[in-house]
Amino acid sequence: MGILLVFVRTVAVFIAYLGFALVGVVLRWSNFISEKRRHALLAGFTRHWARCSSFIFNINIRVVGDMKISPGSLIVGNHIGTPDIFVLGACFPGFFVSKAEIAEWPLFSFLARLGEPIFADRNKRYQVKEIIAQMRERLEEGCSVILFPEGRATDGRGMLDFKSSTFEAAVRTGSVVVPITIIYHDGNQPSIACWNDVTFFQHILRLLKNPRLEVTVFVHDPIKGETDRRVLAEKSWRIIHETHAKEVRSGD
């Protein structure tokens, strides 16, 4: 059953992603629409891709809270693994701030580039200003930006401190920040969604073999009017961590 499931899902991923690639190519190199309009279409394109991916991997998303957030919001959440991208992408149209390594992932990299994420190489500090500038551009266009401020995936049992530098984009644009807590309910410690201790291929294989993945997305009240990026990062972390710790203690 496991081998058959992997085969069926692999074929489904290939066919679906090929279709999205064709649409993405058209959107990416369309010269007859403005960049602002193109970005809005790409944000919608990314959401459909994420929803399709969630369907193929049988990720069942339960949302607690109001999904109707303001356009041009900075969405921040805890980070456990690749499914986080499918989950938050399916819930909210927007652009991800993604680590530069994604550009090297087979198949996923091409689609990621078509979705025009903001790539961040955290080993190169000089990039921070450029990342903030790109985030500001998207936010000012009314496009939401999705960020994992921990900087890397965890095992789902705890959270790392949030890096505050990229919160500067929300401060400069006056954008609201929407904290999101992601909790997986698969009975594993760490969760099957975690890929911190395995290679990318091993991680994807585990997801392909997993029959169903249950996840709850807690959408917290937006944080408005904060003018200090460090305080903004701390407030976001505290809100997300409070729910995360409570859910982990309760055993999901």
Q: Which residue, among 183, 247, 190, 240, has the nearest Cα to 217 in the 3D structure?
A: 183
Nearest to 13 by CA among 42, 47, 54: 54
Low-confidence ranges of the chain (pLDDT < 50): none
Quick one: angle between helices 35-56 and 83-91, nearest 10?
120
DSSP letter for 97, please.
E
Q: Tell me whether strands 95-99 and 74-77 are parallel, antiparallel or unpaired.
A: unpaired
For the chain, list the domains and their CATH numbers.
2-249 (3.40.1130)
Q: What is the pLDDT of residues 79-117, one digit of tens each?
A: 998 899 999 999 999 999 987 556 566 556 666 667 778
pLDDT by residue (tens digit) across 223-246? 999 999 999 999 999 999 999 999
Q: Could you tell me which of 220, 246, 249, 186 has the C-alpha nearest to residue 59?
A: 186
